[in-house]
Amino acid sequence: MKRLHRPLACLVAVLLLLAAVPAPAAPIAHREVLPNGIVLLVAERPGVPIVAVRVFMRAGAAFEPTDHDGLANLTGALLTRGTAKRTGPELDSAIEFVGGSLEAGAGRDGLTASLSILKRDLTLGLDLLGEVMLSPTFPTQELTRKAAQIQAAIKRSEEDPGTVAGRALTRLVFPNHPYGKPVEGTIESVGKLTRDDVESFYRTHVRPDTAIVAVVGDITVDEARREILKRFGGWTPPAPPAPSVSPAPGGAPPRSETITKDLTQATILLGRQAVRQVDPDYFPLAVGSYILGGGSASRLYGRVRDEGGLAYAVFSYVSPGRYGAAFTVSAQTRTAETAKVVDILRAELGRMTRDRVQDDELKLAKDYLIGSFPLRLDTTAKVADFVIAIEEQGLGLDYADRYRASIAKVTAADVQRVAQKFFVPDTFNQVVVGAAK
């Protein structure tokens, strides 16, 4: 393959999506607030007889109590492992018998349940989705099983240098904030989680007043409202107000970490905190990141890969969440060239702060970010993820238009000004995973 689509990049894809954009003239989705607080978003997409439904709640790892790392992830994974009506295997069989899928899982900010189903089986699909959201039973045997699976997956992930490096960098970038913890927890922390923990996390955080439901596909607004109300209309919020999470504090001095593994390549990550879409600096930052390491025409791709032959994978990206954002530069190179590549990454960061970007670079980045937008909304699943993300981030259904306008306004001076805030090489945490030289 010419270029690498990194799993890490996929993880932040939805968020990067927000960095894309011109919009269709019509609003991307119909929005309304149901009586119990659920925000319902519906995007009609006729043509293919399928429907995607997402239910998002503020129940991600950021909301875990201290010393319960991995609780949101475990809770999410257990939603589909048994309900008042059906066992886990019965749920699996029911959805797969009609060729659909029903998954639930947690990330940093939220817990999401996702249904993909043929239109003709929508009733069954929504019934199952309603059950897993509203009447999960969290059987102890299923918890034991799932915890063992998660622990084994964490162990196995230790052999993947990108995962190891990403986890270490996150810890350094967000030292005093839940964002610094691994979403999946650690082998030790997952081993201590109990059914009571799961039950209590579910009761506190899985609630209609922070829920967003997106329905996209071969369905009308009226039908979607009716079907969602039928399953979720009687869902009542718990009395205590929904918990909140503080934004990540900044300002920790940058640190460096080297993790030795018997590998032929070194995985290099440089990272620091940045800003998210509600900050006006976000737009110059997105443009600057694209110029530095966003695509095959970027500076890092040119210098490290095309000219240097030093790496297959090299890129930079902004990953905004609701409670904080990071800016990351990444490369993998043969062990012997580690120092050289680190120097180039740092030198190119520095150059972004010293010199204004060229007009043609600026134009290319802006044209790409604006022009590639339709590609980011070309499937039912992508539209569902996008509308959930803009709602959760509080960006508004017109965000696509505002984004395009904001990107179009970015000047070379803006990019340099923002680079002087966020690209200063000395402010980056550094992680290297690989063989000792």
Partner 1 sequence: MRRGLLLVLLLVAVAAAGPAPAAEPVAPARVVAATLDNGLRVLLLEDHRSPIVSLQLWYRVGSRNETRGATGIAHFLEHLMFRGTPSHGPGEFAKIVERNGGQDNAFTSQDVTSYYVDIAADKLELVLGLEADRMHNLRLDPKIIDSEREVVIEERRMRTEDDPGGFLGEEVGALAFRAHSYGQPIIGWMVDIKRITREEIQAFYKTYYTPNNALLVAAGDFKADTALAQVKAAFGPIPRGPAPPGVTAVEPEQNGERRVVVRKQAELPIVYLGYPVPNQQSPDAAALEVLSVVLAGGRSSRIYRDLVYERQLALEAGGDYSYFSVDPNLFWFWATPLPGQTPETLEKELLGEMDRLRKEPVSDEELKRAKNQIEAGFVFQEDSVHRRASLLARFELIGGYGLRDRYLETIRAVTAADLERVAKAWFPGERKNVGILLPKP
Instruction: Write out the binding residues for partner 1, residues 94-153 only, by CB under 8 A.
Output: 96-101, 116, 118, 120-121, 145, 148-149, 151-153
Count of residues interacting with partner 1 (CB under 8 A): 73
Q: Residue 310, interface with partner 1 (CB under 8 A)?
A: yes
Q: Which is nearer to partner 1, 159 or 355 (CB)?
A: 159
Instruction: Rule CB under 8 A: choose which of 200, 204, 379, 427 binds partner 1.
Output: 379
Rg (CA), the chain: 22
Q: Residue 250 corresponds to which amino acid?
A: G
- Max distance between CA atoms of the chain, in angstroms, equals 64
Site for partner 1 in 262-281 (CB under 8 A): 262-265
Nearer Cβ to partner 1 (73/380): 380
Nearest approach, Cβ of residue 227 and partner 1 (Å): 20
Binder of partner 1 out of 191, 371, 394, 396 (CB under 8 A) = 371
Question: Binding segment for partner 1 among 29-37, 55-63, 374-382, 416-424 (CB under 8 A)?
Answer: 374-382
The answer to whether 291 and 362 have CB atoms below 8 angstroms apart is: yes
Is residue 305 close enough to count as binding partner 1 by CB under 8 A? yes
* Identified binder of partner 1 from the candidate list 156, 203, 226, 409, rule CB under 8 A: 156
For residue 76, the Cα-to-chain-centroid distance in whole angstroms is 15
Of the candidate spans 3-11, 203-211, 344-352, 384-392, the one that interacts with partner 1 by CB under 8 A turns out to be 3-11
Of residues 151 and 353, the one with the C-beta less far from partner 1: 151
Contact between 333 and partner 1 per CB under 8 A: yes
* Residue range at the interface with partner 1 (CB under 8 A); choices 67-75, 93-101, 387-395, 400-408: 93-101
Query: Six-digit token pair at 433?
Result: 């995973």
d(CA 77, CA 144): 12
Tell me: does residue 375 bind partner 1 (CB under 8 A).
yes
- Nearest Cα residue to 40 out of 27, 52, 54: 54
332 binds partner 1 (CB under 8 A): yes
Site for partner 1 in 213-252 (CB under 8 A): none
Residues in 29-68 at the binding interface with partner 1, rule: CB under 8 A: 45, 47-50
DSSP-derived 3-state class of residue 183: coil
**How many Å apart are CA 80 and CA 105, to the nearest integer?**
9
Q: 189 vs 273, which CB is nearer to partner 1?
A: 189
Out of 85, 155, 203, 226, the only residue in the binding site for partner 1 (CB under 8 A) is 155
- Residues of this chain, 161-200, that bind partner 1 according to CB under 8 A: 161
Nearer to partner 1, 121 or 131 (CB): 121
DSSP 399-437: HHHHHHHHHHH--HHHHHHHHHHH--GGG-EEEEEE---
Strands 111-118, 50-57: parallel, antiparallel or unpaired by DSSP? antiparallel
Residues making up the chain, counted from first to last: 437
Return the half-sphere exposure (C-beta side, CA atoms, 13 A cut-off) of residue 130. Answer: 16
Structure tokens at 111: 């817990």
What is the strand order of the sheet 324-334 is part of?
256-260, 429-434, 265-274, 324-334, 314-321
